[in-house]
Structure 1
Amino acid sequence: MVVLAASIVSKSGRALVSRQFVDMSRSRIEGLLAAFPKLVGTGKQHTYVETENVRYVYQPIEALYLLVITNKQSNILEDLETLRLLSKLVPEYSPSLDEEGVCRAAFDLASAFDEAISLGNKENVTVAQVKQYCEMESHEEKLYKLVMQSKINETKDHMRKRVTEIEKSKNDRGNNEKAFGPLRPPNSFSDMSTKGTGLGGDPIFADLFTQKPKGLPSAPAPAPATSKVSGGMKLGKAKKTNQFIDSLKAEGELISEDTQPSGIQSGLSSVPPSDPIAVAIEEKINVTVKRDGGIHNFDIQGTLALQVLNDTGGFIQLQIENQDLPGLSFKTHPYINKELFNSQKFVGAKDPNRPFPSGQNETPLVKWRIQELDESSLPLSVNCWPSVSGNETYVNIEYEASEMFDLHNVVISIPLPALRAAPSVRQIDGEWKYDSRNSVLEWSIFLIDQSNRSGSMEFAVPATDPSTFFPISVGFSASSTFSDLKVTAVLPLREASPPKFSQRIRLVTDNYIVI
């Protein structure tokens, strides 16, 4: 079989789309196309017509003809099979099968013809494969985009947190200046510099241990809500924060109206706690699961952070306990007494006369890492089963949650091919949303607990390659951790009675992907 050219022509003989597949002069092809309308008789049911040198294999498409020109030695059955494939491609790229619609889609149709026929021979491809080749989709590209989007989201979270911190710093500075006049910026501990042995060069602890200059009074407590000055400052802050939220919404970010705009995805809440001492314990999951079973990587990173509200409350030690796990290793801040921590699980300063820093910012004191975990330790397993049937691909997705955790705000994001309309969801345990801009189907489950440890969803899209639905991204949070680390007591070093304290424990996903 040798295909000389493939074309879509009007009944007047005008070529709307034309692709040449062999070395032949343009005038020769144009002459063959111009002769075709004269050879097609009216009222005849033939699908081909022959001349002395070539064979025209054609199919009417409303007011147009889809035409394949071959040499006479070509196998007519193969010619008809090629014509059938091209006839399926035309409506995929041209919504309206008239001259105007075909002309608008001429470039896409020509590219599709090139993928279906190579050097005059029909390629062994399906319609879905031709579309995939034309769109140049790749698994590696999607994975790269997911990683880049994750970094963008982290940057935006950090930006929200910094905006809140800057606004709060302005408010505190205004209160200080009104009460005591302008203050000098606080000096850092001389032995807490990021150079030398102070912080050991560890960036996670950099710029966190700061102390107000000696002799300067501490910032006064916030004025009551009835104060006109305080109220005005709060209104100004709220207005600027709302403007920032509006700008994020304009960029397409989903911002919940009842949440704080700061980066509370990790660490302590930006809302000042009522207790004088607050502890935040957080673990982040980084895992890549293979679609056919097995784990590419599985890593847990945890942090214990402390927030002390007043200057005198920093003379304390924290007593902790945790579950012994294989692959669990701790790392303490250089400010912490490592020997005391390793022997008795007490978090205390090397110098008992130096308190923990006070203020509105949290201070990471201990971090840890858990490795050597296997697939049985996954909090949530996701399986995707795509199958092509006719012109549609049916996708069944199921989740199975571990008994270890109750998961909150679960979102399973499935990439889809470019669609003109939302996918057809046949059955779902939970809720779904279609993000048409990113072509992603988001499956949401508000809470996974003992009542719904497993669930499923089924949807259908036009026929496409099964790899299109990967990588799948998963997000959730939990109120318990793998290490089960917690603060059991806060011991004062100078006061008689133990101070009140609160602790917040959570597990969050940092990067949870099924590839």
Structure 2
Amino acid sequence: MFSPNKIPEYCRALEENEISEHCFDLIFAFDEIVALGYRENVNLAQIRTFTEMDSHEEKVFRAVRETQEREAKAEMRRKAKELQQARRDAERQGKKAPGFGGFGSSAVSGGTTAAMITETIIETEKPKVAPAPARPSGPSKALKLGAKGKEVDNFVDKLKSEGENIMTSVGKRSTEAAKVLAPPVNMESVHMKIEEKISLTCGRDGGLQNMELHGMIMLHISDEKFARIRLHVENEDKRGVQLQTHPNVDKKLFTAESQIGLKNPEKSFPINSDVGVLKWRLQTTEESFIPLTINCWPSESGNSCDVNIEYELQEESLELNDVIITIPLPSGQADGLDKHFVSSVEASCC
């Protein structure tokens, strides 16, 4: 479980410099495999999920909290404008401005029972900062970035010129995907966005070992008259998908009528912000659920090898955009490749 399966997930090759560079990642992964000296019943996909600590619940909670903060700040600005307008009206009439009670969290109604974060808006004059006295000119002892690196590079070049075989250290490898401009999205007063993330592991000779899918529906409303809308969703899935609604969404309504609406009909969805209303999860080993298949056909000829890779979209309802297939290569074996298809020779990937 340690060497043949997990180490290649983080290291390109079983070499000392590779393992030293990713030592902490390997330690965290091994910590998920072994607990108190006993092996845990986990697979590679679960280990990757645990180490990344990517929580959809936390994202939803942060989105709700940010929405509540924006609503509270907007309410406070409105109250402040009302106070200023009342003072102006009183000054025009020659009367003293009436006193108003303080407004805080009790004056703002939130969408959930979470505590609201309020702020008091106070405008103060910016203090005048005296100009700093000019420092006497002299030799600067500031830190020079890159100076040490240049000396090291010059030393390495001298060793190479003398015939020494220098093994270059492995730097941080990051393959940046080509940024393709997506077509503009036509957003109406009510906009719904569906996002799904799939992580799967297949064997060399075919066969799905594990597949995990996470999905979420984001609702964006830009018109207040649609703030109390109900969204109808076709809930006829028979694949065993685990569905979970937002805490403020009426779960009974969704179960009975497949409609997404708030529990309190007097409340409304936030305006001009993305809100996650429904999420789902699927874990399976059924090959028919794979949306994209990849086949690799190597053909050896003498001292070279021709490799043909083909991918096919299995789900007809989807559309492929900006597909990137990364193939790991042995260290130092990138010679002879077509540079048009090499993403990073230093990163040993094609």
TM-score, with length taken from structure 1: 0.35
User: Per residue, is there more strand in 1 or in 2?
Assistant: 1
TM-score, with length taken from structure 2: 0.50
